[in-house]
Structure 1
């Protein structure tokens, strides 16, 4: 094989082509794949369930949720906070009791007279003898089971198993390969849980009273008999009747909950700040841009590339 042959491996340098070829064959490296349109959340889908919303609500940052899903999320977080708070209070009470015991022991004076020390001496001797007897019994029982590991046919009652995984001992057996499960490991001190509930998408404080009901205007086509979920063009702007999709920037009017296009806002509403639907005066804070998913084009989303990390091929 010549030096510049197609499959030459005699070169002193591990080339980029050889590295990519070996990575594809061995399963090492990172796979990158561009996300298509079908993998992007729809503009009318919940950020938690990724399904079209039945009772849509929106946060102040423009993230759309199904009312049932976001209420269940808030309820779960409150239950989690209550559970963590009970554990924290229990740990706090135990620490207070421990400090009281230490203070109480420090207040008791140590006996100095000989007649006061003699009973303690005899008690200590008795406890040492009892401990030695127990150790001897354990040793004798061990030798007895060691001789008869396999029960014979003549034994009416089989000997108990010496396995660490029998008779429920597997539940109390410490895991020596996990640092927090070793016998010497101490329980980590718990911190007081935070009561604030944060949005699962924006990580900002979320309150139930701040959620705004959203009202989508359905596209009325008498010739289209399909179900609403099956339709590609489901909703439209109530003012301009433009069909809404991921490629159309949308906004929500906070006072009424109607979903309009940003083009309608820029060309019609922004001129005199009057809502054409009810004639009321609007403020800039009443317009909430709707966070949409994407279309598969890089101009819509910041990151549309999915990566699968695998072990790195070391050279």
Structure 2
């Protein structure tokens, strides 16, 4: 096979190479690529504001938030629930009134139908039948109470509108914006980062590349270093320190108090250049499909 075989245009088949080439040139197909460093947050940044945390707190699932941001989010969701609940109660009351009115109309219709049938049973004299005038029935849509059943597009009060078929009561539970699990303010755990003390570095701690270190081993923390939070004190340590030091005796090295398995919270970090660090760092852009 020559090196020009893939570019041969004499074949009757639309080859895979030609399809990929045309898709790239015309903007069709799906474009997928690995997200870069600027597209993911750092390990010490808030999961909502994506800015370095000034007062960091962590959930039991390991997601880091700024305390002010996450409390504002919880308060917003609670106020939204109150607003939706008032709207739900209002619509529920209107629906109950509408159902009661409908039942009353059905009952009145049954009563009138019963009375009509009773009147037809009573025998009439021959004279009354002869002198009775024939009834003239109207074919108008607005007669015999049909004006209440038929919609009118030129009267604003009778214009038909689309209504919800079923009312759903709002959920009072506030969910985590990242893990979508129930979130309560009392479950947030304060996090204590140990800053790197470098007397020669005069930059702000938020502009430094190496900002924090492990509270026990003093190793530099970054996205490429798996970290964990010790729940009783909120200290941030490396996962290597947890596996090699803490898990041997399950004793807090700084307070000498016993630890339990639930006291070690694995921090959910941002992305790195390693493929095994995170599994959801592939960005895809769907474009119109190019068919052969």
Q: TM-score range by the shorter chain?
A: 0.7 to 0.9
How far 1:188 sits from its partner (Å)?
4.0
Q: 5+ unaligned residues in a row in structure 2: which ranges?
A: 120-135, 144-155
Deviation per CA, 1:236-295, whole angstroms, max 9, x where unpaired? 012111111111111101000010111111222222222121222211111111111121
Q: Measure, in 1, the Cα distance between the counterparts of 2:6 and 2:231.
A: 65
Deviation per CA, 1:79-99, whole angstroms, max 9, x where unpaired? 221222122212211111112
Q: Measure, in 2, the Cα distance between the counterparts of 1:185 and 1:195.
A: 27
Q: Is the 8 A contact 1:35 1:296 kept in 2?
A: no
Q: 5+ unaligned residues in a row in structure 1: which ranges?
A: 114-120, 129-171, 173-181
Q: Which residue of 2 aligns with 1:288?
A: 265
Q: Which residue of 1 aligns with 2:31?
A: 31
How far 1:305 sits from its partner (Å)?
2.1
Q: Measure, in 1, the Cα distance between the counterparts of 2:285 and 2:24.
A: 13
Q: Which residue of 1 aligns with 2:127?
A: none
DSSP-derived class of the 1:21 partner? helix
How far 1:303 sits from its partner (Å)?
3.2
Instruction: Please report the TM-score for the alignment, with normalisation by the length of structure 1.
Output: 0.73
Q: Which residue of 1 aligns with 2:237?
A: 260
How far 1:7 sits from its partner (Å)?
5.3
Moved >3 Å (runs of 4+)? 4-10, 106-109, 182-188
Q: Which residue of 2 aligns with 1:232?
A: 209
More moved, 35-44 vs 282-291? 35-44
How far 1:30 sits from its partner (Å)?
1.0
Instruction: Please report the TM-score for the alignment, with normalisation by the length of structure 2.
Output: 0.79
Q: Which residue of 2 aligns with 1:204?
A: 181
Deviation per CA, 1:174-204, whole angstroms, max 9, x where unpaired? xxxxxxxx95644343311111111111111
DSSP-derived class of the 1:302 partner? coil
DSSP-derived class of the 1:298 partner? coil
Q: Measure, in 2, the Cα distance between the counterparts of 1:76 and 1:302.
A: 31
DSSP-derived class of the 2:33 partner? strand
Count of residues paired in the alignment: 253
More moved, 44-53 vs 29-38? 29-38
Computed over aligned residues only, the root mean square deviation of the Cα atoms, in angstroms, reads 2.7
